[in-house]
Amino acid sequence: MASTTLYEKIWSRHTVIEETAEHPAVLYIDRHLIHEVTTPQAFAELEARGLSVHRPDLTTATCDHSTPTLPRRADGSYPYATDAARNQVETLEANCARHGIELFGWGSDHRGVVHVMGPELGLTLPGSTIVCGDSHTATHGAFGALAFGIGTSEVGHVLATQCLLQRRSKTMAVEIEGLLQPGVTAKDLILGLIAEIGVGGGSGCVIEYRGEAVRALSMEGRMTVCNMSIEAGARAGLIAPDDVTFDWLAKRPRAPQGEAFERAREDWRTLRSDDEASFDKTISFDAGRLSPRITWGSDPAMGAGIDAAVPPPANAAARDALDYMQLAPGKPAAGTPVNAVFVGSCTNGRLSDLMDAARVLRGRRVADGVRMLVVPGSEQVKREAEALGLHEIFLAAGAQWREPGCSMCLAMNGDGGQPGELVVSTSNRNFKGRQGPGVRTVLASPMTAAASAVAGAIADPRIYAEGSDAA
C-alpha cells in the first residue's frame, strides 16, 4: 500500500462517495458541535424544506458566544447584553428541544466555549471527523481528529445528512524542532510560526504539526497550536495522537471506557503519517529560538518577539496597521501602556492557561487603571480553577473572575474594550475592531498577558518568573 499522510488516512475512513470531476466527495462527520450564533438560520432552512436532523445523537450543542460572563441577577435572570442575544440563546434551546439534540446549556456542569467543552467531555476522538460553525474548530486536530470550521449552509447539510461535500485538501507538514525556553509557551510558538508563514501561508492546506517541540507539548498546548491554524489560512491543523493524547482521553466521560478504550487505543496508535508519506509542502521551524511573542499590528502574522523592535513597515498594510495600533517602528512594543487585559477564549481559556496567569499574578497586583478579565473556558475549567484557589489569586490581584464564555475574544456578549483602548489578549485575532470599534488588540500568551496587567504596560513575563529578583 502506498504511504499516506494522517490526513489521508482519516479522509479515506470517512468517504461515503468518492469525489469525481463533477462533484466533491461526500464526507461523513462523526461529531457536529453547534452553538447559538451560526445555527438558527440552518434550523430554519431545514424546517422550510421539511427536513429533520439525521443524527441528533452525533450532534452536541452549547451556548458560548452571546452569553454574558457576569453572574445571574438576584432574580435568577441572565444579564444578556441585548434582547437579540437572549433570543439567540433561547432559539438554540428551542431548536435542540425540538430536534432531540443534547444541549450543554445554562445550568449544565459542562457548558463552555465549544472547543474547550468538546475535548473535556471526550467527544473529540483521534481519527474522527468533527465540524462546527466556527473557524476555530481546528482546535480538535490536536487529538488527531480532522476538524474544521464550516458556514451555516454546511451546518444545515450536516444536520440533514451528517455529511459534507468536500474536495480533498493539500497537505503541509510543519516540522517543529527545538524545545521552548522557560517563559515561552505554545501560544508563542504558533504566533511565531504564523509570523513566519503569513496569514495566507497555509491556504488550501491541512497542516500537520510534527517534531520534538510538538511531542513535548501538553494536550492543552497542542490545542492552542491547532486552534490558530486558521489564522495561517489553513483548513485544519493536525497532530498525530500519542500517549499524551491517550492519557488525556482516558478520564473523559464520553470517550470509550474500559475494554472499548483499550481497543480504540490500539487503532489510534495507527493514526500517524507513514515515514515515506509525501506532503504537498514541508517547512521547518525552530522553536528553541523563540522569545515570548506579541503582535504589533492588525492581523496575527504582524508580530515580533517581545524583546525585539517593531519592524519597519514592509508595505501599506503594515503602515496602516501601525497607524491603527499607534505603535512606532524601530522600538519594542514592550512598555506601551495597557488599558485592559483578557485571559480566556478557545485559544487560551483552559486550566493550564489560568495556572500560567496565576503564577505571574500570585502576590502581585494588577496595575492601577488596568481592567483585567479572567474568563474560564468552561464550567469544568472554572470548577477546577476554584478547587486550586486560582480565583482567589485573581481576585486578590484585582482582576475580575467571570463566568465561562467567548467574552472579549469577539466582544459580542457585551464584554469588550472602548475606542482607542489597548487590550493585551490571549485570544486568537487582533483584527481591527475585533474587541470593539477602535480597540487595539495585542495577542499574547497568558503569562505575557498577566505580566502586562501587573506592569500596566506590555511586559516580558520572564521578569516575573518564579525565583526572579526582577519582580
Partner 1 sequence: MPHKLEPISTIVSTPYVLDAPNIDTDQIIPARFLTTTSRDGMGELLFNDWRGEDGAFTPALAAQSKILVAAENFGCGSSREHAAWAISDFGFRAVLSPLLADIFRANALKNGLLAVEIVPSVYDAIAAQPDAQIEIDLESQTIKAAGQEAQFDIDPFARRCLLDGVDAMGFLTSRISDIEAFEKARA
Coil, strand or helix: which one is 392?
helix
In terms of CB distance, is 20 or 77 closer to partner 1? Answer: 20
Instruction: Kindly tell me which residue out of 16, 179, 260, 395 binds partner 1, with binding defined by CB under 8 A.
Output: 16
In terms of CB distance, is 66 or 185 closer to partner 1? Answer: 66
- Locate all alpha helices (DSSP H) within 100-151, ordered by sequence: 114-121
Query: Which string of DSSP letters, residue by residue, matches 42-69?
Result: HHHHHHHTT---S-GGGEEEE--SS---
Which stretch, 105-113, 182-190, 216-224, 230-238, contacts partner 1 (CB under 8 A)? 230-238
Instruction: By CB under 8 A, tell whether 418 contacts partner 1.
Output: no
Given strand 15-17, what is the order of strands in its sheet? Answer: 15-17, 25-28, 163-166
Q: Which residues contact 469 (CB under 8 A, 6 or more apart)?
A: none
Instruction: Kindly tell me which residue out of 4, 40, 79, 256 binds partner 1, with binding defined by CB under 8 A.
Output: 40
Q: Cell 482582576 maps to which residue?
A: 399
Distances (CA, A) of 209 to 113, 126, 173, 213, 279: 24, 15, 6, 9, 12
Instruction: By CB under 8 A, tell whether 431 contacts partner 1.
Output: yes
Which stretch, 115-123, 195-203, 210-218, 270-278, contacts partner 1 (CB under 8 A)? 195-203
Instruction: By CB under 8 A, tell whether 397 contacts partner 1.
Output: no
Which residues between 44 and 73 bind partner 1 (CB under 8 A)? 44-45, 48-49, 51, 54, 65-66
Query: Which string of DSSP letters, residue by residue, matches 335-399?
Result: T-B-SEEEE-HHHH-SHHHHHHHHHHHTT--PPTT-EEEE--SBHHHHHHHHHTTHHHHHHHHT-
Instruction: By CB under 8 A, tell whether 313 contacts partner 1.
Output: no
Coil, strand or helix: which one is 9?
helix
Q: Which amino acid is at 115?
A: H
Spatial CA neighbour of 281 closest among 195, 203, 179? 203
Instruction: By CB under 8 A, tell whether 97 contacts partner 1.
Output: no
- Locate all alpha helices (DSSP H) within 105-151, ordered by sequence: 114-121
Question: How many angstroms separate the CA atoms of 372 and 446, rounded?
Answer: 12
Instruction: By CB under 8 A, tell whether 161 contacts partner 1.
Output: yes
Instruction: By CB under 8 A, tell whether 420 contacts partner 1.
Output: no
Instruction: Kindly tell me which residue out of 433, 456, 463, 465 binds partner 1, with binding defined by CB under 8 A.
Output: 433
Instruction: Kindly tell me which residue out of 112, 119, 233, 349 binds partner 1, with binding defined by CB under 8 A.
Output: 233
Count of residues interacting with partner 1 (CB under 8 A): 65
State the minimum distance, in angstroms, from the CB of residue 384 to partner 1: 28
Taking the mean position of all CA atoms in its chain, how far away is CA 185?
15
State the minimum distance, in angstroms, from the CB of residue 390 to partner 1: 28
CB atoms within 10 A of CB 326: 10
Question: How many angstroms separate the CA atoms of 235 and 171, rounded?
Answer: 10
Instruction: By CB under 8 A, tell whether 273 contacts partner 1.
Output: no
Instruction: Kindly tell me which residue out of 70, 165, 216, 308 binds partner 1, with binding defined by CB under 8 A.
Output: 165
Instruction: Kindly tell me which residue out of 17, 260, 328, 387 binds partner 1, with binding defined by CB under 8 A.
Output: 17
Eight-state DSSP code of residue 110: T
Q: Which residues contact 452 (CB under 8 A, 6 or more apart)?
A: 338, 341, 424, 442, 444, 458, 459
Instruction: Kindly tell me which residue out of 71, 100, 200, 288 binds partner 1, with binding defined by CB under 8 A.
Output: 200
Which residues between 111 and 150 bind partner 1 (CB under 8 A)? 133-135, 137, 149-150
Question: How many angstroms separate the CA atoms of 225 and 115, rounded?
Answer: 13
State the minimum distance, in angstroms, from the CB of residue 50 to partner 1: 9
Residues of this chain that bind partner 1 (CB under 8 A): 16-17, 21-24, 26, 28, 37-38, 40-41, 44-45, 48-49, 51, 54, 65-66, 82, 84-85, 87-88, 91, 133-135, 137, 149-154, 156-157, 160-163, 165, 167, 199-200, 203-204, 230, 233, 235, 299, 316-317, 320, 410-412, 429, 431-434, 436-437
